[in-house]
Structure 1
Amino acid sequence: MHKKFNIGIFDSGVGGLSLVNKIKQKLPKENIIYFADKANGFYGTKTEREIKELCKLYAEFLHENQCKIILIASSSAACAALPYLQEKFDFPVLGPIEENIKAALKETKNNHISILTSPFTAFKKVYEDEIKKYSLDIKYETITVSPLSNLVENGWNNFLDNEIILKKSLKNISLDSDTIILGSSYLSLIKDDIKKNLKNKNIIDPADQWIKDLYKTLYKMNLLNDQEKSGRLEFFVNKDLDKFKKVSENYLKNSIDVYQIF
Structure 2
Amino acid sequence: MFQNLSIGVFDSGVGGTTILKEILLLLPQENIIYYGDSGNAPYGEKSIEEIQNLCSKILDFFVKNRCKAVVIACNTATAAALDKLTEEYSIPIIGVITPGAKGAVKVTKNKKINVLATPFTVSSHCYIKELDKFSSSLSIFQEGCPELCPMIENGWELYPNREEVLKKHLSKLSKSADTLILGCTHYPIIENDIRKFFSGTIIDPAKETAMDLKELLKKKELLNSSRKKGSLDFFISGNIDSFRSIAEKFLGFSIKNIYSVEK
Secondary structure of the structure 1 residue equivalent to 2:122: helix
In 2: Cα distance, 1:158 partner to 1:62 partner: 34
Partner of 2:239: 240
Superimposed CA distance per residue, residues 8-49 of structure 1 (whole angstroms, 9 cap, x where no aligned partner) = 111111000111111121211111111111221111111111
Query: Which residue does 1:66 correspond to in 2?
Result: 66
Q: Which residue of 2 aligns with 1:213?
A: 212
* Cα distance between partner residues in 2 of 1:100 and 1:19: 12
Contact 2:236–2:260 (Cα < 8 Å) also in 1: yes
Q: Determine the structure 1 residue equivalent to 2:223.
A: 224
| 171-180 or 125-134: bigger deviation | 125-134
After superposition, the C-alpha distances for 1:61-81 in whole angstroms (9 at most, x for unaligned) are: 012112111111111111111
Give the equivalent residue in structure 2 for 1:96: 96
Distance in 2 of aligned mates of 1:39 and 1:148: 17
> What is the CA distance between 1:161 and its match in structure 2?
3.6
The separation in 1 between residues aligned to 2:95 and 2:248, in whole angstroms, is 25
- Per the alignment, residue 48 of structure 1 pairs with 48
1:1-262 correspondence runs (5 A): 2-199=2-199, 201-256=200-255, 257-262=257-262
Q: CA deviation at 1:246?
A: 2.2
In structure 1, stretches of 5+ residues that fail to align are none
For 2:151, give the aligned amino acid: L
Bigger shift: residues 190-199 or 237-246: 190-199
More displaced stretch, 99-108 vs 158-167: 158-167
What do you get for the CA RMSD once the two structures are aligned? 1.5
Quote the offset at 1:142 in angstroms: 0.8
Instruction: Report how far residue 52 of structure 1 moved.
Output: 0.9
> What SS does the aligned partner of 1:197 have?
coil
1:109 CA drift (Å): 0.9
2:135 is matched by which residue type in structure 1?
A: S
Of 241-250 and 79-88, more deviation after overlay is shown by 241-250
- Give 3-state SS (helix, strand or coil) of 1:185's partner: coil
Q: Distance in 2 between matches of 1:80 and 1:191?
A: 25
User: Which stretch has the larger CA shift, 239-248 or 33-42?
Assistant: 239-248
Moved more, 144-153 or 41-50: 144-153
Q: Which amino acid is the alignment partner of residue 177 of structure 1?
A: A
Alpha-carbon distance between aligned partners in 1 of 2:231 and 2:156, rounded to the nearest angstrom: 26
Structure 2 length as normaliser, TM-score?
0.94
Give the letter for the 1:27 counterpart.
L
Identity %: 39
TM-superposed CA distance for 1:155, in Å, is 2.3
Distance in 2 between residues matched to 1:52 and 1:208, nearest whole Å: 25
252-261 or 105-114: bigger deviation: 252-261
Q: What is the CA distance between 1:260 and its match in structure 2?
A: 0.9
Task: Give yes or no for contact 1:6–1:33 (8 Å, CA) kept in 2.
Answer: yes
Is 154-163 or 131-140 further displaced after alignment? 154-163
- Evaluate the alpha carbon distance shift between residue 46 and residue 123 of structure 1 in structure 2; reply closer, same or farther with a 3 A threshold: same
Aligned AA for 2:241?
Answer: D
1: CA distance between counterparts of 2:22 and 2:193? 18
Distance 2:113 2:17 in 1: 25
SS in 2 for 1:28: coil
> 2 CA distance for matches of 1:4 and 1:158?
41
Measure the CA separation in 2 of the matches of 1:128 and 1:228: 41
Runs ≥4 residues deviating over 4 A: none
| Structure 2 residue ranges without an equivalent (≥5) | none
Distance 2:234 2:210 in 1: 19
Shift of 1:136: 2.3
The one-letter code sitting in structure 2 at the alignment partner of 1:210 is T
Residues 122 and 181 of structure 1, relative CA distance in 2, 3 Å threshold: same
Q: Deviations over 1:200-258 (max 9, x none)?
A: x1111111111111111111112111212111110001221222222222222222131
- In the aligned structure 2, how far is the partner of 1:212 from the partner of 1:24? 11
